[in-house]
Structure 1
Amino acid sequence: MTGHRHIGSVRRGACARLLAGLAGSAALAALLSACAGDQTGSVITPAVIKVPEQAPKTTGRARTGDDADHAKLVASFGGEYRSPAALKLLTEVTERLVKASERPDEAYAVTLLDSPVVNAFALPSGRLYVTRGLLALATDTSEVAAVLAHEIAHVTLRHATARSEMALRSQLVSRVVADVLNDPVTGAQLENQSKFTLARFSREQEFEADTSGVRVLAQAGYDPFGASRFLEALNRTLALKSGTGTASEPDMLATHPATTERIALVTRAARRIGAPGLGVDERARYLAAIDGVAYGDNPGEGMVRARRFLHPGLRIAFEVPDAFTIENTRNAVLGTTPEGSRRLLFDQVEASADRGLEDVLRATWNDGIDAGSVENRIVGGNPAVTALSKGKDWTFRLAAIRVGETTYRMIMAAKGATDPDPAFRRWIESLRPLEPEEAASLKPAHLRLVTAAPGDTVESLSRRMIVPDRAAERFLVLNGLERGASVKPGQSYKLVVE
């Protein structure tokens, strides 16, 4: 969570979506296709793959406003990340894939984003984006090539343009019925139906891009099974993140199919090409290129350490109750229990120091607040106002707390009528100043390659990692190893270290 971003007003529906996970920018959603998932960085110039002068300079529609979209995307993902070796590899892989694609003369620009989330996406203009979080998860060149091939397929198949046209057409139909024909009920029904149609269309596009991507991957000389290996690693990462041992499945309006469905599809596509062992994976080359890449949260954006959140820039820290797993995002800290029945949100709100905290709380929460529940308190020496809000499906505890001249909001939700007040009070009372010495001691984590020595085991290597929990499981996922696997002396492995 940055020190200058805020959420000004949250309705119950918006809050539920935010507490459920990250939401993309609505203005950019129609332009990009985010495919892989699941911070201030150095600004660098994206690597541009050169093509002959007579070749088209754009893909899909014209680059109208593309620079503005690019700048917004880069800013929303923490800026560009400086890793010349990794960017060079991505550029060379992209060039090789483009030459093997159905449109070998189109131009692409690759941007590496300073974000720990596992993500990759493309604009219809040919801009490709890969996060450092994705680089950390992949274990060889064929896996990251599979992701890039998938994104290139979205561009060459003009998926974003088709999706935008369908969305605009659906909006137009529902608006005409509601406004021109004066039938708002039918208009609302059509709009709701169009959402399901668009979601189904988007999932079909993902399957099409997966199939095309595997074909191009093999034609470029890479291992076509790299796609299924990466998706397996992604599924295992999502399971670790959920805390339940299984990855969460998309709902009916999800624009992406379940990862397990995609794994089955790309595995079948690879088998149609040939048996495992085809193509190259270039594991050693890939690991050398990502050695030293930052891992996890950037201290400047706040850091999660087990159940603690620490923000050196804001000089604050807090600890969430047992059973909560928290994630630091660009705009807020989000948390959930494994079964999803309790969730929390922490963010910063824009409010002048002389504005009453009760007024701030009501202004940033557009649902009813139980008048008798409003309470003025002192939390850790700071003025605070807490309140209760009851919805149909969730019960919310809210707090606005002023630390110095900055106002923070803390929200805990419990499914049903259960009041989360006891856990909520423990959480807000844990908010405290972060001492300068503690802030200075927080170092960013990064990947480091180590060569396994005789006698090394998964357990001995994973004990050297600085990860919040389940170090052995995370070591296995990061290195593409199955449970029960052994490390091989002389082979390189990724560790997460300071």
Structure 2
Amino acid sequence: MRPRRWILPMTTKYLETWHEYRSQTDKQRKISQFSVLKKNMHSNIALRILTSAPGLLLLLLMSLGSQILQGCSINPATGEQNFTAFMPPEKELREGRKADPHIRRQFGGAYTDAALSAYITGIGRRLAAQSELPNLKFTFTVLNSPDVNAFALPGGFVYVTRGLLALADNEAQLAGVLAHEIGHVTARHAAQRYSRTVVAQIGRVFARLADQPILDSVLSTGGQIYLSSYSREQEFEADHLGVRYLIRAGYDPTGVAAFLTKMRQHAILETKLAGSRQDPDRFQLLATHPRTMDRVQRAIKKAQDEGGKPGRVGRESYLEQIDSLLYGDDPEQGVIRGRTFIHPKVGFRFTVPVGYKMLNTPAALQIFGTEPVRIAVDHLRVRPSTNAVDFLTSDWAASISLQNVERININGLIGATGTRVVRGKKGPITQRLVAVRLEHDSIVRFLFMTPSRISPSINHALRRMTYSLERLPAEMPPLKAARIRVHRVGPRDSVETMALQMPVGPQAERRFRVLNGIADSEAVRPGMLVKLVDEPQP
């Protein structure tokens, strides 16, 4: 909103000048031009410029240039000048507070373990105290999400997921993640990104005024790329600052590189288990933090050259803290058992076709078919008086036109369905929307997206999946969550015997090695602590 404070006054002044000039007679214009010329010998050129659309563009650019010059600030962490005109420090705190509840909802809320939360906060505050903003009140939150992720909001709001805690091997690795996110805050990367985004949006206004669609396209693309993730330069800066804080707080900085390697191994394994051909780096933490091993090693070397010494690792103390940590799906958000998805809290289940993979997130269940098929499933509360057809056509699909809308009955549950065809990159895509009422105020939604060329051949399998939806039986015992179990290796234990204690499924040994950071050529040693996963069966 800040740009309007100077754009509107300038636009008004320009229009007044323009109307005054157009309303004058030729004689008046000559007298006026002569008078102005006496004051400024270049006014005749300036006047001609002002009478064109590029003239307004130039004025706006000049004013924006002034705003940019005034908006550069000295970065407290790096000592360099950065453009943060549109997000001063006081606004960073306001924006962070405003976004915090939305982040918590998106990632399943805060994980409820007071002792673990206090432990994470203690590590974070020790690191923050070594930063260039020691008086900033940082907030550290563990999110109830199985994803491996961490991020920070402006104003000092730092988040790690329980999925990341399960993957980390020691306190130094966790501290490395927290220190990196603190580095993003102290370097004011969010303020820089926000300010540049505002400039990009203003630039699009300039391009429209100048009637330059090419410029508009370039600015639009650049803004989108900038918003997608931190730049590699910012990541290296956060790595360098994070390692600095680690060493000052007495931690071993080499854990940063070890955990980066482990995250990528985990991403590769998860991609393989999901049957996906996508680049592993596109998902979770690696997607928003484009870091490379050479940059991390450079940051570590630079910090060590500045006087860093080997410090605390804290493996056993860390593993003791995460013993019994919830692992994978939270039953409150639904669980995957083989080919069946069960949601105990809402009270339904259904089964996917053979070969289909499921990925459960707090926002929705995502399903990937062996063909290029994508399905999303969620649930929501509705008005008790809303029937399924009205909900489908008037609420969910109110802004689009559906075809073949019909009422359906699935195992006694009343629902509605409809389709539409949209254009995709590789041809038409058929979207089928299904809404099924569970209770008087609860609806389950399915969104099927299939290439139209193959839709007829897979309709039967997808129909069977839809019609497998049913309420949970009243006598069904409550589902227990899978949890991390810390085990001390005995003299007869081996990687192979430990892998047998992992949840049933493919790549058990590989899952055990990645979870514990054990290399392919490495064996377990008697006395060492390792992580196993106890996954009770329904």
Gaps in structure 1 of 5+ consecutive residues: 1-57
Residue in 1 aligned with 2:447? 411
- Pick aligned residue for 1:397 from 432, 441, 456: 432
- Pick aligned residue for 1:385 from 395, 416, 419: 416
CA apart distance, 1:298: 1.9
Alignment of 1:76-475 (within 5 A): 76-178=106-208, 187=216, 190-199=219-228, 202-242=231-271, 243-244=274-275, 247-250=279-282, 256=288, 258=290, 261-272=291-302, 278-337=310-369, 341-352=372-383, 355-363=386-394, 364-365=396-397, 366-369=399-402, 371=403, 373-393=404-424, 394-405=429-440, 406-415=442-451, 417-419=453-455, 420-438=458-476, 440-466=477-503, 469-475=506-512
Gaps in structure 2 of 5+ consecutive residues: 1-87
CA apart distance, 1:68: 4.0
Which amino acid in structure 1 is aligned with residue 100 of structure 2? H
Summarize the Cα distance change of 1:193–1:124 in structure 2 as closer, same or farther, 3 Å threshold: closer
- Pick aligned residue for 1:480 from 504, 517, 520: 517
The 2-side partners of 1:104 and 1:68 are apart by 22
CA apart distance, 1:496: 1.6
Are the aligned partners of 2:106 and 2:363 in contact in 1 as well (CA < 8 Å)? Answer: no
Are the aligned partners of 1:447 and 1:496 in contact in 2 as well (CA < 8 Å)? Answer: yes
The 2-side partners of 1:195 and 1:255 are apart by 15
Which amino acid in structure 2 is aligned with residue 211 of structure 1? H
CA apart distance, 1:165: 0.8
Which amino acid in structure 2 is aligned with residue 330 of structure 1? P
In structure 2, the residue corresponding to 1:101 is in which secondary structure? coil
Q: 1:231-287 CA distances to partner (integer Å, 9 max, x unpaired)?
A: 222222222332348753439xx97354xx533321343355569993331101111
In structure 2, the residue corresponding to 1:437 is in which secondary structure? coil
CA apart distance, 1:424: 1.3
The 1-side partners of 2:101 and 2:382 are apart by 27
Summarize the Cα distance change of 1:201–1:299 in structure 2 as closer, same or farther, 3 Å threshold: closer
Residue in 2 aligned with 1:46? none
The 2-side partners of 1:357 and 1:84 are apart by 42
Residue in 2 aligned with 1:40? none
CA apart distance, 1:199: 4.2
Name the structure, 1 or 2, with higher relative contact order (CA <8 Å, separation 6+): 1
Are the aligned partners of 1:210 and 1:262 in contact in 2 as well (CA < 8 Å)? Answer: no
Which amino acid in structure 1 is aligned with residue 146 of structure 2? P
In structure 1, the residue corresponding to 2:434 is in which secondary structure? strand
The 2-side partners of 1:127 and 1:388 are apart by 42
The 1-side partners of 2:112 and 2:230 are apart by 36
The 1-side partners of 2:153 and 2:524 are apart by 40
Which amino acid in structure 2 is aligned with residue 80 of structure 1? A
Which amino acid in structure 1 is aligned with residue 341 of structure 2? F
Are the aligned partners of 2:162 and 2:326 in contact in 1 as well (CA < 8 Å)? Answer: yes
The 1-side partners of 2:377 and 2:321 are apart by 36
Residue in 1 aligned with 2:23? none
Residue in 2 aligned with 1:494? 531
Summarize the Cα distance change of 1:207–1:307 in structure 2 as closer, same or farther, 3 Å threshold: farther
Residue in 2 aligned with 1:5? none
CA apart distance, 1:326: 1.3
Summarize the Cα distance change of 1:467–1:135 in structure 2 as closer, same or farther, 3 Å threshold: farther
Larger mean CA deviation between 242-251 and 470-479 belongs to 242-251
Summarize the Cα distance change of 1:306–1:484 in structure 2 as closer, same or farther, 3 Å threshold: farther
CA apart distance, 1:483: 2.9
Q: 1:311-340 CA distances to partner (integer Å, 9 max, x unpaired)?
A: 1111101111222221222221112247x8
Q: 1:457-491 CA distances to partner (integer Å, 9 max, x unpaired)?
A: 22322332346654332222221112353221111
The 2-side partners of 1:416 and 1:458 are apart by 47
The 1-side partners of 2:250 and 2:123 are apart by 11
Residue in 2 aligned with 1:30? none
The 2-side partners of 1:416 and 1:204 are apart by 43
CA apart distance, 1:182: 6.7
Are the aligned partners of 1:109 and 1:127 in contact in 2 as well (CA < 8 Å)? Answer: yes
The 2-side partners of 1:455 and 1:389 are apart by 60
Percent pairwise identity: 33
TM-score, normalization: structure 2? 0.72
Summarize the Cα distance change of 1:77–1:255 in structure 2 as closer, same or farther, 3 Å threshold: closer
Q: 1:177-213 CA distances to partner (integer Å, 9 max, x unpaired)?
A: 43x5577785455323322344476443223212332
Are the aligned partners of 1:395 and 1:418 in contact in 2 as well (CA < 8 Å)? Answer: no
The 2-side partners of 1:410 and 1:95 are apart by 44
In structure 1, the residue corresponding to 2:329 is in which secondary structure? coil
CA apart distance, 1:145: 0.7
CA apart distance, 1:447: 1.4
In structure 1, the residue corresponding to 2:288 is in which secondary structure? coil
Which amino acid in structure 2 is aligned with residue 233 of structure 1? K
Which amino acid in structure 1 is aligned with residue 166 of structure 2? A
Residue in 2 aligned with 1:3? none
In structure 1, the residue corresponding to 2:93 is in which secondary structure? coil
Summarize the Cα distance change of 1:104–1:331 in structure 2 as closer, same or farther, 3 Å threshold: closer
The 2-side partners of 1:410 and 1:174 are apart by 37
Summarize the Cα distance change of 1:458–1:380 in structure 2 as closer, same or farther, 3 Å threshold: farther
* Greater Cα radius of gyration, structure 1 or 2: 2
TM-score, normalization: structure 1? 0.77
In structure 1, the residue corresponding to 2:437 is in which secondary structure? strand
